[in-house]
Structure formats: C-alpha cells, structure tokens
Amino acid sequence: MDSQSKRSPSLVDVARAAGVSHMTVSRVLNKSANVKPATVEKVEEALQKLGYRRNPMVDALMSQVRRRRVHLHSNLAWLEEEETDGKQRKRIKLLRERAEQRAAALGYGFETIFHKPNALSAERIDSMLKARGVHGVIIAPIQSSGSQFDFPWDHYSVATLGRSLQTPTISHVMMHFQHAMERTLEELRQRGYQRIGFWTTREAEMRSEHLPLMTYLRHNYRLKGSIPIEPLWLDSLSVAEVRSWYQSNRPEAIISSPFSGWEIARQLAVKIPEEVGFVTLSSPESAPRISGMRVPLEAMAHGVVDSVVAQIHRNEQGVPKVPKCMMVEASWHEGRTLRPQNRP
C-alpha cells in the first residue's frame, strides 16, 4: 500500500479521475483540437490534482512507434486550384515538386488533387482523401487571396503556403517579408541610393501580411533632411499614370513588391540602372538580370511538409487553437538592375 501510494499516476489513473477514456487523456496531452473544451477542463483538473508528469523517454519512444506506423499507411495530399495564371502556375508546380520530394524522403506517399474553386463540397473532398489513405493535407497558394475554403478541417492535419487562405487561420509557411524588405533597403543604401520609391498591389500586401509596406513606411519615418516618397499602388494604373508618378517624385531607385512591376518599369522610357535602379522582392530564377530577393521556394515546400508531418506525429487534426507560422529567409540576388556597391 505504501509503495502503491508513492507510484506516479498513469494515464489510466487520470482517465478514471476525469471520467473519460485514456485515449481522451492522450489527446488532451497532445493538444488535439478534437476534444470538447469542457472535457479538456476536466482532464486538466485531474492532471493537476494527481500531479501527473509526462515521461519524456516514453514520449520519444511512442513518437517513433507512431512515425513507423503512419509511414506504412499514410499519404499526404496536395490540394491545388486548376485555374491559376501562367506565372503563378510555374511557381506552384515547383513548390509541389519540392514538397513531393520532401514527403518521399520522410517516408510518405504524396497525392496531388486538382480542384476548381468552390466546385467541391467538404463532404466530397473528405471522401476523396479517405479513399487515398490521406492523413495530412497541404493547401497550395490560392489564386485569389482572402478566399475561403470548404474543407473537412476536423479530420486532417493541415498547413498551407503563404497567406492567401485567410479563413480559417491554419499553420502556414511563408517568406520572411520584413527581413527581405530590410535587406533590400540596406542593399540600396550601400549603393548610395537615397530617394527610394515603393510599388505594390493590394493582392501582394495581403499575401505578405503588409510587412513590406510597414517596413517601407518605417524607413520613410526615419528619413532625415528629405521628403519621403509615398508608396504607389499599381492596381488598375496605366503606364501613363505610373510615368506621371515617376516624373513627379524622381526616385533614384524603385522597389517593386510584385515581379510584375518590372514590365511597367521597362515602359517608363528611362535607362535601368543608369537613370533609376530597380529591385523586386520576388526575383525569379527565370529572370537572372533582375536584382532582388529570391523567394526560398524549396525551403518553404520542405517546411510545409514538415509542419503537416509533425502534426500527424502529435495526432493533431483540425484548425489549431494557436496556429504556427514558419518564416523562411529569402536570399539576395545581385542581378544587373542596380548600380554596383560603393567600395571603400
């Protein structure tokens, strides 16, 4: 009796005290979203009352057991809209290929499911995923940011790339836009540029959570002895209107958040980089001439797979109470649309 009283409480002891099954206790400990709040409260009270402490060695062992089990029986699914524009389609295709490689390296199958926006119900998607043995789902970037998505959230471990999916908020992986903008501004300063303009669109700002714009405005706030240039919103502007902005502000360099700004800059009838420098926050490998930040597509694709797999190992499904955001650093690409750095 004495030794029994000193025994550490088990999951069964906690379950008995809370009036639930030991699997429910396990789900609460693993922060599963599939437990009612009232039940979570009962289990947490029992845990505290009994002084239950997790055994890290047992947790590590069980994680290995679950990992082996799900590798044998689990697939990941990549959900992608059919209707995407050409440039976006190439980038998403590269993300998909890198995600599939990462899934294979971790021992998972990989299913690609194309769908038309708002064409499939949550029930139909659920049926398709179950038929393919899918436990984790990656939602590819959505064409129109701010879109809602009809999906059986409660049944799957899920994550997405970027912030095109606004509702609900799930775990996501995105480029670190603030650091990218700070690095871009620093590169311009090192080359002696002082009057710096910024081009963006509402779509680009929503997808980047407004981080480039906020970083630029902070830069303008700190300027001394010069009048800052207001950001230019490219939405629905004609080339003539952009040219008028350029002539009025006379920037020494232009930062464009979307790569599409390059096509507009080429029509301003100015020499780049002799008369004005140009840089973008999304310089693609297909345009090596353009200076700017390279989007870390491979690292983002690997990160979103890792996020979903980690949720599967923790037995987490559904919309999380506290979504996680993984910010991936971009890299600088020198290009030829800026003048060289000033050397000491």
- What CATH number has the domain bearing residue 46? 1.10.260.40
Q: Calculate the alpha carbon distances from 338 to 41, 104, 191, 278, 317 in Å.
A: 59, 41, 8, 6, 47
For Cα atoms 248, 254, 257, give the angle at the middle one, nearest 5 degrees: 120
Are 113 and 211 part of one and the same domain?
A: no
Q: Which pLDDT does position 65 carry in this prediction?
A: 52
In whole angstroms, give the CA distance from residue 122 to residue 151.
4
- Domain of residue 201 covers 177-295
Q: Please count the structural domains in the chain.
A: 3
Q: Which pLDDT does position 51 carry in this prediction?
A: 83
Residue 193 confidence (pLDDT) above 60: yes
- Confidence bin at 164 (pLDDT 50/70/90): confident
Q: Calculate the alpha carbon distances from 26 to 29, 145, 153, 164, 264 in Å.
A: 5, 37, 20, 33, 57
Which residue's structure tokens are 């979203």? Answer: 33
- Confidence bin at 148 (pLDDT 50/70/90): low
| Domain assignment present for 60 | no
| Domain assignment present for 66 | no
Residue 71 confidence (pLDDT) above 60: no
Are 170 and 232 part of one and the same domain?
A: no
Q: Which pLDDT does position 117 carry in this prediction?
A: 76
Q: Which pLDDT does position 8 carry in this prediction?
A: 76
Position 75: which residue type? N
| Domain assignment present for 342 | no
Provide mean pLDDT across the span 186-208: 95
Q: Do 76 and 40 meet the contact criterion of CB atoms below 8 Å apart?
A: no
Are 303 and 237 part of one and the same domain?
A: no
Residue 63 confidence (pLDDT) above 60: no
Q: Do 73 and 109 meet the contact criterion of CB atoms below 8 Å apart?
A: no
Residue 1 confidence (pLDDT) above 50: no
Q: Could you tell me which of 138, 154, 182 has the C-alpha nearest to residue 302?
A: 138
Are 89 and 167 part of one and the same domain?
A: yes
| Domain assignment present for 336 | no
Q: Calculate the alpha carbon distances from 200 to 136, 256, 257 in Å.
A: 34, 6, 5
Q: Which pLDDT does position 21 carry in this prediction?
A: 86
Q: Do 207 and 162 meet the contact criterion of CB atoms below 8 Å apart?
A: yes
Are 166 and 301 part of one and the same domain?
A: yes
| Domain assignment present for 11 | yes
Provide mean pLDDT across the span 28-50: 81
Q: Could you tell me which of 77, 70, 75 has the C-alpha nearest to residue 137?
A: 77
Task: Pick left, alpha or beta for residue 19 (phi over 0 → left; psi -120 to 50 → alpha; otherwise beta).
Answer: left
